[in-house]
Amino acid sequence: MEPLFLPNGAKFALERLESRGYEAYVVGGCVRDSLLGLSPHDWDLTTNATPDETAAAFSDCRLIDYGKKHGTVTVLFHGEPLEITTYRLDGVYTDNRHPASVTFSKTLADDLARRDFTVNAMAYHPARGLVDLFGGANDLARRAIRCVGNAETRFEEDGLRILRAVRFASALDFSLEPETGRAVHARVALLDHIARERIREEWNKLLLGKSPAKILSAYPDVAARAIPAFAGAGRVDPAALSAAPNDLIIRLSVLFHVYLSKENRLETADRAMRDLRYDNAAREETLAVLELAGADMDPAEAAVRRLLVSHAPQTLKRALEAKRCLGIPFPEKIPAVLETVLARGDCVALRDLAVNGRDLMNAGIPAGKPVGAVLNRLFEAVVEGDLPNRKDALLRAAADMRRPE
């Protein structure tokens, strides 16, 4: 195989450890991505140096050692983190999530054997080449996610690996190797023991992968464990999700529209997102897009301005994209009208109005509620297109509004 390109930070860390007499390799996702021709987001290393020995070797660098008891020391190289972990053996898993103990090892083989999937269980050294004890490179070539060792045992150790398996398959557009796929179905209930925040993290990565529709269609039981409201949906036509751009809000909105019945759709989606601990901004935006995607839209400029009064432009654009993915018809003119209204800078918020409360008080409108009432009436008239957003026109209209009928 061709040598892998290592960034300066990884080369520095390898050379520093070896200069102190230790063995070290880059390992895991960075090796996998490099073999796939992708740019790794992170570079992790594994070594026979203990955490204390690793920290001593990099004593002139800024270190983060909150993972030290589990064997990990993070070295900051020009601000970039390099996680360096001691070879280790995991003890018995007692909670379907974490090993009860961790034992440091002196052999790379021990460390690779404890990892989840073969494509993540490869190590590399510029002089010694690729160390692939479990056929990870072959699985990359056949585009398969396969557990290291017995799949059901791996999932029983850590139930989150079930979701990670389908997440990697979606992210890479791979399939699950048959034994691993059968084990996912057999042990899917283990996801019930995983913190909902961790489920959300993997779920988002799955949705933002290359083939979420294919994976969710093949593993509806995993979808139902992540979002229990999906339990009765069975195998859903993946066409709409396949058409969705790589935008989490749009993909969530499309998914909720496809999986949930029209009755109580918004309320059910809201409960699902609260259950998975989504932040308020993501939840509110998803619900807004979901509601607009199922609603009729008027192409008139005034109607578009009314929508912009209560929704950000990005929300409307996402809703139109969701409609397109779902095959929900909408007037062809709406995107162009939206762009025209935005480009022209039409008044869609009180702050855009050409007059303010002080202007109205100077014109004789009493302070307090009267000023607020007139401002709102002027704003509504401008949004509807009944008044131009010009100061002179608005002040004349305000004078008319304060005259008795």
Assess whether pLDDT exceeds 80 at residue 109.
yes
Could you tell me if 136 and 25 lie in one domain?
yes
Could you tell me if 39 and 118 lie in one domain?
yes
Assess whether pLDDT exceeds 50 at residue 67.
yes
How many domains, the chain?
Answer: 4
pLDDT at 371: 92
Residue that terminates a domain, selected from 236, 258, 277? 236
pLDDT at 405: 44
Domain with residue 157: its CATH number is 1.10.110.30
Could you tell me if 55 and 75 lie in one domain?
yes
Both tokens assigned to 205: 């990565």
Assess whether pLDDT exceeds 50 at residue 97.
yes
Residue 100 confidence class, pLDDT cut points 50, 70, 90:
low
Question: How far does Cα 276 stand from its chain's mean position?
Answer: 13
* Helical ranges in 237-311 per DSSP H: 239-243, 248-259, 265-275, 280-293, 301-310
pLDDT at 134: 97
Give residue-wise pLDDT tens across range 43-53: 999 999 999 99
Residue pair 248/204 in contact (Cβ under 8 Å)? The answer is yes
Could you tell me if 137 and 152 lie in one domain?
no
Could you tell me if 83 and 100 lie in one domain?
yes
Could you tell me if 185 and 309 lie in one domain?
no
Could you tell me if 289 and 260 lie in one domain?
yes
Residue that terminates a domain, selected from 179, 212, 236? 236
Could you tell me if 34 and 136 lie in one domain?
yes
Give residue-wise pLDDT tens across range 165-203: 999 999 999 999 999 999 999 999 999 999 999 999 999
Domain with residue 394: its CATH number is 1.10.246
- DSSP codes joined into one string, 11-51: HHHHHHHHHTT--EEEETHHHHHHHTT---S-EEEEESS-H
Using CA atoms of 196, 198, 204, 207 in order, give the dihedral in degrees to the nearest 10. -90
Domain with residue 119: its CATH number is 3.30.460.10
Could you tell me if 60 and 119 lie in one domain?
yes
Residue pair 252/207 in contact (Cβ under 8 Å)? The answer is yes
Could you tell me if 15 and 94 lie in one domain?
yes
Residue that terminates a domain, selected from 114, 142, 170? 142
Residue pair 141/111 in contact (Cβ under 8 Å)? The answer is no
User: How large is the average pLDDT for residues 205-222?
Assistant: 94
Could you tell me if 215 and 105 lie in one domain?
no
Could you tell me if 169 and 135 lie in one domain?
no
User: How large is the average pLDDT for residues 206-229?
Assistant: 93
Q: Provide the residue range defining the domain that includes 313.
A: 245-344
